[in-house]
Amino acid sequence: MSTASPIRRASLPEQLIIPLHQHIGENSEILVTKGERVLKGQPLTVAKAYVSAPIHAPSSGIVTDIAEYPAPHPSGLSTLCIVIKTDGENEWADLEPVSNYRDLSTAELRNIIRHAGIVGLGGAAFPTAVKLNPGPDHPIDTVIINAAECEPYISCDDMLMRERADEVISGIEIILHTLGAKKALIAIENNKPEAAEALQKSLGRTANENIHVVAIPTIYPTGGEKQLIKVLTNKEVPSDGLPIDIGIVVQNVGTTAAIHRAIHFGEPLISRIITVTGNGIKQPQNMDVLIGTSMAEVIQQCGGYTENAKQLIMGGPMMGFSMHTDHLPIIKGCNCLLVETTEQRQGMQTMPCIRCGECTRVCPANLLPQQLYWHASSRNFDQVQDYHLFDCIECGCCAHVCPSHIPLVQYYRFAKTEIWNQERDRKKSDHARVRHDFRQARLDREKRERDERLRKKKEMLEKKKQEESQASTAEIDPKKAAINAALERVKMKKASTTVTPKNTNNLTEEQQKKIDEVDKQRQASKTK
């Protein structure tokens, strides 16, 4: 429905509402203030976390508000946004194109892609720079370019390859150089002959023998990452694993074109091609739209709604989200606006499960959707993980074939979100416990150090007191000190001159008489 006319560039809106959170990972940090004039391509935020991506001004104008606005999300909740009133001048900020990217290191190339705010444009919006950094433990042999636009109605990648094949091939060459991979496989469905031919002609001009266009069957959901790898290489990604575990990196075809613009022209990701289609649209077509443009304006530029338009979906009919209003901004992960009619939504009343097993038969991940539904609906989140909930790619096949019209995928998304929330709360609790233990250890250490300081201070005081006592003793009156010294000398002299009585036991009688006479004479002289 939407490939009858070429890609059309959407007109510049009067106002752009740009959500900060347009990617998987942490929000980026705001760089601008309310009332500031910004230029086209100027960074509005900077990514601080590793898994994050900045956003840029899609056009020049004045920042009129930084506040929470409704965002295109199934929850319908608001998120922090930067609002720009465009001035119509489209004045670019200074850009820094790379003349020869092969002269740069892989880290420098990744940084350019990171600062350009490029994320996966297939819908997941995972930061591309992170994907291009598998690490030394995961050498990459093959790059797969996902051009398998297998969901009904969506044709933005098809038209991109038809009209901008050279940009796609150039982006692939940059990816191969960055990863050091040997080859790239462009997976394109066999119902897109025009796009395949355009890519082959572009490859003929570049003469790059490491890039190959591979036609695959048009079967939903072949465009899923794991399913595509299986079809092309016959390798299976481990459960709870990643493609890098088997030496493969998968990138969306739109992402490769964005990488080309970032490297060769220095342009950040400020616009994307989206498919505006469905029986509820008067003029289905593909539009090159600035990020932040209102969905209502885009639909109006496609002729508006038909009389029987019923529901607006962001994405395709299988994996898309129903929007409660069209006054929502286009974001990086939006690849399609699908408007369904009343007739397409009739007979969708939910009924009890009849256990027919059709959901199990069609599941491309070979899961048991019925068991997943029972445990998710009963909030048994431990049990639901035993049935490999996180291997579910949310393709919607089970819900599509369910005769009871049970929105199975919504239950799976709910269970995943709750498990993630519980895991986040657990990590916060663990972090708080670690902080408490660290604080207690710090307090104990400080107490020991304080006690040690007090002990040392006490010892110093005692030592000082002893020194002062000795000093005071040395400062006694010199006369008294001399007298004391003389007395000490006398005592020492007496001790040394003490006469030991003679031994008289062996004297003769005559000798003893003489001694007695001498004693009498001494006694008589003393008496006189």
Q: Which residue has the higher pLDDT, 204 or 513?
A: 204
Is residue 58 situated within a structural domain?
A: no
Could you tell me if 257 and 136 lie in one domain? yes
Beta-carbon-side half-sphere exposure of residue 319 (alpha carbons within 13 Å): 20
Is residue 435 situated within a structural domain?
A: yes
Mean pLDDT over 21-35 rounds to 90
Cα–Cα distances (Å) from 189 to 193, 272, 498, in that order, read 8, 22, 130
Residue 528 has pLDDT above 60, yes or no: no
Exposed e or buried b per residue across 298-314, where buried means at least 16 C-beta atoms within 10 angstroms of its C-beta: bbebbeebeeebbbbbb
Residue 401 has pLDDT above 80, yes or no: yes
Could you tell me if 130 and 258 lie in one domain? yes
Could you tell me if 256 and 125 lie in one domain? yes
Give me the percent of the chain exceeding a pLDDT of 70: 93
Best CA proximity match to 295, nearest among 279, 311, 308? 311
pLDDT at 525: 66
Best CA proximity match to 55, nearest among 67, 64, 47? 47
- Domain range holding 415? 347-458
pLDDT digits (tens, 9 = 90+) for 82-104: 999 999 999 999 999 998 999 99
Residue 476 has pLDDT above 60, yes or no: no
Could you tell me if 243 and 375 lie in one domain? no
Give me the phi and psi of 485, to 5 degrees please: -65, -40
Could you tell me if 140 and 257 lie in one domain? yes
Is residue 154 situated within a structural domain?
A: yes
CATH number of the domain within which 224 lies: 3.40.50.11540
pLDDT at 497: 54
pLDDT at 154: 93
Residue 501 has pLDDT above 60, yes or no: no
- C-beta separation of 212 from 185 below 8 A: yes
Is residue 35 situated within a structural domain?
A: no
Q: Which of 133-137, 239-243, 470-474, 501-505 has the lowest mean pLDDT?
A: 501-505
Residue 26 has pLDDT above 90, yes or no: no
Q: CB count, 10 Å around CB of 362? A: 15
Domain boundary among 458, 473, 491: 458
Cα–Cα distances (Å) from 455 to 55, 255, 504, in that order, read 59, 68, 67
What is the band of 486 on the pLDDT scale with cuts at 50, 70, 90?
Answer: confident
Mean pLDDT over 511-526 rounds to 72
pLDDT digits (tens, 9 = 90+) for 161-195: 999 999 999 999 999 999 999 899 999 999 999 99
Greatest distance between any 2 Cα atoms in the chain: 168
Strands, DSSP E only, in 209-357? 211-216, 248-252, 271-277, 285-290, 309-314, 321-323, 336-341
- C-beta separation of 57 from 42 below 8 A: yes
CA dist 184 and 142 (Å) reads: 6
Cα–Cα distances (Å) from 487 to 470, 475, 490, in that order, read 22, 20, 5
pLDDT at 115: 95
Report the DSSP beta bridge partners of residue 186.
145, 213
pLDDT digits (tens, 9 = 90+) for 193-209: 999 999 999 999 988 88
Query: What pTM, to 2 d.p., does this model score?
Result: 0.77
Is residue 516 situated within a structural domain?
A: no
Could you tell me if 362 and 259 lie in one domain? no
pLDDT at 345: 47
CA dist 334 and 314 (Å) reads: 7
Residue 61 has pLDDT above 60, yes or no: yes
Could you tell me if 128 and 219 lie in one domain? yes
Could you tell me if 453 and 363 lie in one domain? yes
CA dist 173 and 181 (Å) reads: 10
Domain boundary among 216, 251, 266: 266
Residue 8 has pLDDT above 90, yes or no: yes
CATH number of the domain within which 428 lies: 1.10.1060
pLDDT at 269: 95
Exposed e or buried b per residue across 221-239, where buried means at least 16 C-beta atoms within 10 angstroms of its C-beta: bbbbbbbbbebbbeeebee
Give me the phi and psi of 275, to 5 degrees please: -95, 125
Burial of 509 (0-12, 13-18, 19+ CB in 10 A): exposed
3-state secondary structure 88-127: CCCCECCCCCCCCHHHCCHHHHHHHHHHCCCECCCCCCCE
What is the band of 264 on the pLDDT scale with cuts at 50, 70, 90?
Answer: very high
What is the band of 500 on the pLDDT scale with cuts at 50, 70, 90?
Answer: very low
pLDDT at 495: 66
Residue 521 has pLDDT above 80, yes or no: no
Could you tell me if 232 and 137 lie in one domain? yes
Is residue 448 situated within a structural domain?
A: yes
pLDDT at 281: 95
Could you tell me if 244 and 362 lie in one domain? no
What is the band of 499 on the pLDDT scale with cuts at 50, 70, 90?
Answer: very low
Domain boundary among 232, 266, 300: 266
Could you tell me if 371 and 240 lie in one domain? no
Cα–Cα distances (Å) from 155 to 24, 56, 149, in that order, read 24, 26, 7
Is residue 144 situated within a structural domain?
A: yes
pLDDT at 225: 87
What is the band of 472 on the pLDDT scale with cuts at 50, 70, 90?
Answer: low
Integer-rounded Cα radius of gyration of the chain: 45
What is the band of 319 on the pLDDT scale with cuts at 50, 70, 90?
Answer: confident
What is the band of 343 on the pLDDT scale with cuts at 50, 70, 90?
Answer: low
Mean pLDDT over 232-257 rounds to 91
Mean pLDDT over 450-456 rounds to 91
Angle at 198 between CA 197 and CA 202, to 5 degrees: 115
Q: Which residue has the higher pLDDT, 372 or 507?
A: 372
CA dist 379 and 374 (Å) reads: 9
pLDDT digits (tens, 9 = 90+) for 68-82: 999 887 767 788 999
Mean pLDDT over 411-425 rounds to 87
Residue 468 has pLDDT above 80, yes or no: no
Is residue 108 situated within a structural domain?
A: no
Residue 262 has pLDDT above 60, yes or no: yes
3-state secondary structure 431-448: HHHHHHHHHHHHHHHHHH
Q: Strand 78-86 vs strand 15-19: parallel, antiparallel, or unpaired? A: antiparallel
Q: What is the mean pLDDT of the chain?
A: 88
Number of structural domains the chain divides into: 2
Mean pLDDT over 460-480 rounds to 73
